[in-house]
Structure 1
Amino acid sequence: MNVLYDHQIFSWQKYGGISRYFYELIKRVSVSERVDLYQGFHVNKYGLEKIGDFGKLFSCQKIELPKTGRIYEWINTAGLKCFARKSKAGIYHPTYYNDYCIDGKKLVVTVYDMIHELFPEYFVHDKATIAKKRVILKKADGIIAISEATKNDLVEILGLPPEKIDVVYLANSLRLEVKEKRFFKEPYCLYVGNRGGYKNFLPMLEAFAISKYAKDLKLVAFGGGAFDNKEISAIKHLNLMECVKQISGDDKLLANLYKYAEVFIYPSQYEGFGLPPLEAMYYGTPVICSDTSSIPEVVMDTALQFNPNNIDSMADAFNKILSDDGLRKELAVKGKNREKDFSWDRCAKETIDVYKKVLEG
């Protein structure tokens, strides 16, 4: 089998969830299948050109161009079309939703979530994604959803036939050994990632403020950039200036924060899959999380769940898990076992099965 992948996500993300997914996937698919990888003028730092003997590889990484604008996209598109004509791949798996009208190949598209459709108020400057997604999914010969919840959303929102959609789970890539002492000496709860909109960070702050442990613990927010004015104002209003900290860093620091956290909180209103809970579970960190979308599907009974739209429900979760050492230990053990159910090797194998099914169909 011969599979063609394009440049889209690699030209936008140095690092990121989707580019990580394709890095892990391509690295493994290339072991047993011929891979044609068009990277174009890309910015990613994963070094895909170094991971194996790809059948064909086009990379212009050293040529500097602005990564936005018509000229940049025109050159990338022209290069992809030329590369695709020479490729003998039977499957074309684009890394995002732009439709480049690649002829003569079966089209397989991965859908990561339906956030744009369900929360359009947070994406007023990115309405194009909804339109592009609809166009390419109508044309797709096969669709991969990263959770059953995402598959159900595709059927309900876009009316796509369920038999056209296969669920292939993602996996955790953060598996660094932590040998160093704890970065934060004080006990803390951990939040990871972006904080805007549906991520539900501000309501979570309110829940933390009214919990019994707000004065005994720190709340550490990793990543997502420095707190903005709205967040600072909320932190001051809730009298949490001494309790809430924001920090950024590399995977080594993140692994350290996971390992020594009292609890990891994931209050998002919606996720197509949600990798941070898996990361926390790998390090034996007890998880409290939302009971919506794909999140319960991933954590199952290994986490304490709450209603993300109810401040009291979140506060109760804080109180319950932080007051019960036995519960934290139980969830830590269950979480470590549940995390083992997900692997990138399994993701690659099941994706190859989707490719074969599409070719045979």
Structure 2
Amino acid sequence: MRIGIDIRCLMEAQYSGISEYTYNLINNLLKIDRQNQYFLFYNTAQAATVPKFNFPNVEIKEFQYPNKLFNLSMRFLKLPRIDKMIGGVDILLIPNFLFLNLSKKCKQVLVVHDLSFELYPEFFTPKKKLWHKLINARKLCREADIIVAISENTKNDIINLYNVGVEKIKTVNPGISDLFFQSIREEDKIRIKEKYNLADDYVFYLGNLEPRKNLEALIKAFAELKNQQIKLVIAGGEAWKYKKIYKLWQNSPVRKRIKFLGYIDAADRPFLYAAAKIFVYPSIYEGFGLPPIEAMACGTPVITSFSSSLPEAVSDAGLLIDPNNYKELAQTIDELLNNPLLINQLSKKGLQRSKQFSWDNSAKKILEIINDL
């Protein structure tokens, strides 16, 4: 069978979210499937680098049309057809919402991460709102032969908001990299603290700096802590309205105890998780929420939000808080820091919970969906 995969998201310089998902899914699909032929499509008129994926049954199909003209042509002229551009494929795997135009005979497997743009439009720029309107996510969902939802929460959102039949939606949770399951020694923790000039004891957050991640609540909560020794370390790339987060930090009475690291290379993340006392992820809405699972795999206790898919992700292996109540978050952090027994219990539960999320399992489930079409 000839399988196409849209890899336009892999042109990003810094991977997070959808790009990390797409890279890991493709890499693991190619590891387990040597029978099908894969054709990886991307288009850009600018210089771009995508992963090579050195497997015998894969070809990269690169095109260099101006993106705006290419997207608008597909949207309004219904040309070109991507499956025809890449030599004809039986199925196209679409890892996120994109401008798309395909032949009727080409089957579509669409991955839906979340519908945050429908539920929380205030978290998106005017440009991004227009982009979502033009791609018409509702239409993409209805035209797909199979939808892969990354969580039950996302599945329910698709059913409720787009009136899509439950029979064509399959839930397949994403995995986490094997990097997070490696054995981490005390000297590794000391090394990472020295590299980033970190205090011995810190609370950790990793994720993009944007309103949806609710860093405002975390910074406010940190100022309320009874524990005046612990530090807060925030890692992640700068996204929409990140300057507002920096302004809040600069005006915080505990700003000297808060450190921003910026975007962190994947290789360093397990050590930063493992060296932290607690990982806090107070996001308002997530399609799944991998950082809490990654932290659990590193043995670090997790506090996260009782909202969207996050309770589904962490189950009973983490502490859940109201993301709209920063005082509750502060109280929960204080209580956990003062309870070594609970820290130990959550660490053990988290390790067990994280083992349920591997990319090998996710890839096998999606390959089964593809082969059954």
Q: TM-score, normalised by structure 2?
A: 0.85
Partner of 2:223: 209
Residue number among 188, 196, 201 corresponding to 1:187 in the alignment: 201
What SS does the aligned partner of 1:93 have?
strand
Q: Where in structure 2 are there 5+ consecutive unaligned residues?
A: none
1:180-239: per-residue Cα shift (whole Å, max 9, x none)? 3241233110011113222111112111211212x2111000123399553343234430
Determine if contact 2:283/2:323 at 8 Å carries over to the other structure.
yes
Deviation at 1:355, TM superposition (A): 1.8
2:60 alignment partner, one of 53, 57, 82: 57
Match of 1:307 in 2: 322
Shift of 1:174: 6.0
**Aligned-residue offset at 1:307:** 0.7
What is the CA–CA distance in structure 2 between the aligned matches of 1:81 and 1:9, rounded to whole Å? 18
Indicate the residue corresponding to 2:248 in structure 1. Answer: 234
Contact preservation (8 Å) 1:222, 1:254: no
Q: Write out aligned runs for 1:155-194 (5 A).
A: 155-173=159-177, 175=179, 177=182, 178=184, 180=188, 181=190, 182-183=192-193, 184-194=198-208
Residue 222 of structure 1 is aligned with which of 232, 235, 238?
Answer: 235
Aligned pair 1:102/2:115, yes or no? no
Shift of 1:325: 0.6
> Superposition pairs for residues 7-86 of structure 1, below 5 Å?
7-12=7-12, 14-30=14-30, 31-32=32-33, 33-41=36-44, 47=51, 49-59=52-62, 69-70=68-69, 78=80, 80-84=82-86, 86=87
Q: Matches of 2:7 and 2:209 in 1, distance apart?
A: 28
Q: For residue 43 of structure 1, report the CA deviation from its aligned partner.
A: 6.9
| SS in structure 2 at match of 1:234 | helix
Q: Among 140, 143, 150, which residue is 2:144 paired with?
A: 140
Distance 1:45 1:344 in 2: 23
> Which stretch of structure 1 is more off in the superposition, 95-104 or 159-168?
95-104
Q: Using the TM superposition, give the Cα deviation of residue 311 of structure 1 relative to its aligned residue in structure 2, in angstroms.
A: 1.9
Following superposition, the deviation at residue 106 of structure 1 comes to 1.0
**1:302-358 Cα deviation digits (max 9, x unpaired):** 10111111122211211121110111111111111111101111111111222234x
- Are 1:129 and 2:132 matched, yes or no? yes
Structure 1 counterpart of 2:313, one-letter code: V
Read off the aligned partner of 2:163 and give its amino acid letter. G
Cα distance in 1, alignment partners of residues 84 and 359 from structure 2: 31
Q: 2:355 aligns with which of 331, 336, 340?
A: 340
Does 1:5 find its partner at 2:8?
no
CA distance in 2, matches of 1:224, 1:24: 20
TM-score by length of 1: 0.88
Q: Name the CA distance, whole Å, in 2 between partners of 1:252 and 1:210.
A: 33
1:12 deviation in Å? 4.4
Q: Matches of 1:186 and 1:36 in 2, distance apart?
A: 48
How far apart are residue 241 of structure 1 and its match? 1.6
Count of aligned pairs between the two proteins: 349
Name the CA distance, whole Å, in 1 between partners of 2:100 and 2:112: 14
- Cα RMSD, aligned residues only: 2.6
* 1:25 partner letter: L
Question: Partners of 1:94 and 1:161 in 2: how far apart?
Answer: 19
Partner SS state of residue 229, structure 2: coil
Q: Please say if residues 81 and 101 of structure 2, whose CA atoms lie closer than 8 Å, have aligned partners that are also in contact.
A: no
Q: How far 1:255 sits from its partner (Å)?
A: 2.3
